[in-house]
Amino acid sequence: MSIFLSQRARRVRLSPIAAAGQRANALAGQGRDIVALTAGEPEFDTPEAIKEAAVAALARGETKYTPTAGTAALRRAIAARYGRDHGIALTPADVIVANGGKQVIFEAFAATLDSGDEVLLPAPYWPSFPDIVRVNDGTPVILSCDERSGFKLDAARLEAAITPRTRWLVLNTPANPTGAVYRERELAALAEVLRRHPHVLVLVDEIYEQIRFGAAAPHWLNIAPDLRGRTLVVNGASKTYAMTGWRIGWGIAPAELVQAMTAIQSQVSSGASAIGQAAVAAALDAADQTFVQQGRLAYARRAELVSKTIPSIPGLRLLPPQGAFFAYVNCGGLIGHVRPDGRPIESDADLVDWLLEAEGVAVVDGAAYGLSPYFRLSFAVADAVLEDALQRIARAVAALQPAQAEVMA
Ligand SMILES: Cc1ncc(COP(=O)(O)O)c(C=O)c1O
């Protein structure tokens, strides 16, 4: 037991996704032939025009501290983008820019949670949510939403879960890790419940907003404009513009929350990088959004490939993703199967180990996302890499034997 770590530090874990990625890298470093489908980031490079905007900002001498809540140019560009895309009227004061959407979420919880406050988290969830809640003294309340509900929370579940201690509901659409996308009527039903509980805030994480394969649902702020006073929208440049390393995300929130988050950010990191903000402002303001459209088409094509191939592998099942770049594969049909070395597959983590050991495919087990038995694979990889990975998964699964009882039955 450490003598110097706080209770707070003991409540957080290193990201399980990063851990899975590191394991794959370590094996690759030993010369193993590894296909990693672990990372939640586009494999594309940041578009040239965005890089050029960053270089131009450097040339202009934009190398100083920036206003804590974000540069005027970027906050204006974000507000204008929501006006153009969704007809939502925002002013720069409604917007806070941070070092990634993750920091926005952290600051929002830091600004609003007291010890024991509850945060409703539909599972499967992005693993950072419960940890960010815990590190800020809150209590994650996990609401399991399996395939039968399309991995989505419904109004009755929400109503039943709300207590006087509930502070937030977290919605992530399109979702990591399932690719589920909430439809208009589903969001409207959830809004109806929230109207009856004015003490509950709602965090709408739309970081994968631009990566969806069907028609877009109307924006939450258009479905429930009356809830704007207690809504935090989280978005950023990481996924849309392949800018994960630039660390620029933003939140749209009521003035009181923006101010409290800004005060916290002023003592954590100050304003985000000047160069990064200039680059993202240029990305949002550009008339040419071809990169975003091409990305959407590429991910849609891969989603289709995965959705076609996975169900053809005996023992695996998949609810086709409708957005983002993840598939959340049900592997319940393989639990109880036996590896050629006689070891049983008792959990999704065992299967994930087997895929890595047998065929060098790295994916992340469902336990990390709060719903088993599943594994998440990222299809933010080149088509050829994905095709190879799917063949490897099929081979690894084919090498498993059904349990003896099943063979005899
Ligand atoms: C659901 C979800 N929200 C937020 C983020 C944060 O992204 P960033 O901090 O790069 O903006 C991620 C990144 O993986 C994510 O998957």
Ligand 1 atom, smallest distance to 248 CA: 11
Sequence-ordered list of residues with C-beta below 8 angstroms from that of 29, at least 6 positions apart, any chain: none
| Pocket of ligand 1, beta carbon within 6 A | 40, 100-102, 126, 172, 176, 205, 207, 236, 238, 244, 249
Q: Average pLDDT across each block of 10 residues of the chain; the chain has 409 residues. List them in order.
A: 84 80 87 91 95 98 97 98 96 97 98 97 97 96 95 98 98 97 97 98 98 91 98 98 97 98 97 98 96 96 98 97 98 97 96 96 95 97 97 98 67
Structural domain spans, the chain = 7-45+291-408, 48-285
First to last CA, the chain: 50
Residue 187, burial from CB neighbour count under 10 angstroms (0-12, 13-18, 19+)? buried
- Select from 132, 204, 238 the residue to mutate for testing ligand 1; criterion: most ligand atoms less than 8 Å from CB: 238
- Select from 105, 106, 128 the residue to mutate for testing ligand 1; criterion: most ligand atoms less than 8 Å from CB: 128
**The pLDDT of residue 407:** 52
Do the Cβ atoms of 192 and 158 come closer than 8 Å?
Answer: no
The CATH number given to 48-285 is 3.40.640.10
Q: Over the range 342-365, which residues count as b (16 or more CB within 10 Å of their CB) and which as e?
A: eeebebbbbbbbbbbebbbbbbbb
**The pLDDT of residue 406:** 54
Which structure tokens are listed for 273?
Answer: 């990088």
Ligand 1 atom, smallest distance to 238 CA: 10
CA 408 to ligand 1 centroid distance, Å: 47
Fold (CATH) for 7-45+291-408: Aspartate Aminotransferase, domain 1 (3.90.1150)
CA 333 to ligand 1 centroid distance, Å: 31
- Select from 41, 176, 248, 325 the residue to mutate for testing ligand 1; criterion: most ligand atoms less than 8 Å from CB: 176
CA 99 to ligand 1 centroid distance, Å: 11
Sequence-ordered list of residues with C-beta below 8 angstroms from that of 384, at least 6 positions apart, any chain: none
